[in-house]
Amino acid sequence: MSHAPTSIDPTKPSIARVYDAFLNGSDNYEVDREVVRGVRKAAPEAADLAVENRAFLIRVCRFLAARSGITQYLDCGSGLPTAENTHQVVRRVHPEARVVYVDNDPLVLAHSRALLEGDPTAVFVAEDIFEPERLLANELVRSHLDWSRPIALLHMGTLHHYNGEDARTRKDIVRAYVDALPSGSYVALSHFLDPEDEFSATARKMEEMFLHSMMGSGTFSTRAELEDLFNGLPMVAPGLVRCADWQPDAPHTEPLNAARRCIAGGVAHKP
Ligand code: SAM
């Protein structure tokens, strides 16, 4: 049985549709674009948060497939399909790669199922990514991946939308996944960053706009808080950095704007 809302509510913004609006996609409503306009008041270039996050995800998938030989992916909070989805990136290296996408947004579910129709190696599961035990017990999650071989866990742009910190911390949630992963697996995370420098005020303004919007989530965390989320696992070089600085395809030709400085990510390895 799935664990996600089944009907789309166009009167309330959704995380997936707001992200799609930031990326200039067409799967969003006026309420979603309203959130984007609000955050842009805090930082006009705020869309770069999403652009950098997505580019990071693609580079990480390329790295995991090409350099680490990973052929199994658990993509938590996969979002609305865009041009370069995880299975498409990793299959260029490993045509046989197996991917499980997980999200709880009904529009994501509809589009993902349509995209993956008839595809035997990539599947979509509707579950709550902040309930790892339940997700990890899901029949399709268990059977589609071989849990005796390394798996890449992707939690990209997701944990900053977790609002239940009082009951269970983000670190605890990541740990539950890490404990279940076989040895040799990888954990890739990206998250809004408070850079604790002259761009900190912009980060906190964007946070305020996200949190006080009808979407109601989007926490910016410090570098130390984000490092903690990896639960002490050894990091792949260059460690936890701004997404833009993680194994970039080319050197930056101009200084990073505020938004590009406010999203960080890293990849860790489970020995
Ligand atoms: N991971 C993709 C990326 O990096 O391009 C999409 C990131 S998008 C900002 C966050 C995604 O997480 C959305 O699609 C949203 O629906 C999903 N999400 C948020 N909370 C969730 C939850 N509790 N359970 C499942 N999915 C969730």
The domains of the chain are located at 15-269
CA 78 to ligand 1 centroid distance, Å: 6
CA 259 to ligand 1 centroid distance, Å: 19
Residues of the chain falling short of pLDDT 70: 1-4
Residue-level pLDDT at 67: 97
Question: What residues does 188 pair with on adjacent strands?
Answer: 154, 267
Tell the residue nearest (CA) to atom 5 of ligand 1. 54
pLDDT digits (tens, 9 = 90+) for 226-267: 999 999 999 999 999 999 999 999 999 999 999 999 999 999
Cα(105)–Cα(127) distance, integer angstroms: 9
List, in order, residues 6 or more apart from 159 with CB less than 8 Å away: 170, 173, 174, 189, 191, 229
With CA atoms as reference, report the closest residue to 64 among 256, 259, 208, 247: 247
Residue-level pLDDT at 3: 62
Tell the residue nearest (CA) to atom 13 of ligand 1. 16
Q: pTM for this one?
A: 0.97
Tell the residue nearest (CA) to atom 18 of ligand 1. 77
Residue-level pLDDT at 92: 97
Indicate the top mutation candidate among 103, 124, 187, 206 to test ligand 1's pocket, ranked by most ligand atoms within 8 A of CB: 103
pLDDT digits (tens, 9 = 90+) for 125-138: 999 999 999 999 99
Looking at 3.40.50.150, 3.40.50.720, 3.40.50.800, 1.20.1250.20, the CATH number of the domain 15-269 comes to 3.40.50.150
Indicate the top mutation candidate among 28, 112, 161, 215 to test ligand 1's pocket, ranked by most ligand atoms within 8 A of CB: 161
Indicate the top mutation candidate among 20, 156, 158, 219 to test ligand 1's pocket, ranked by most ligand atoms within 8 A of CB: 158
> Sheet of 152-156: strands edge to edge?
122-126, 98-103, 72-76, 152-156, 186-192, 263-269, 241-242
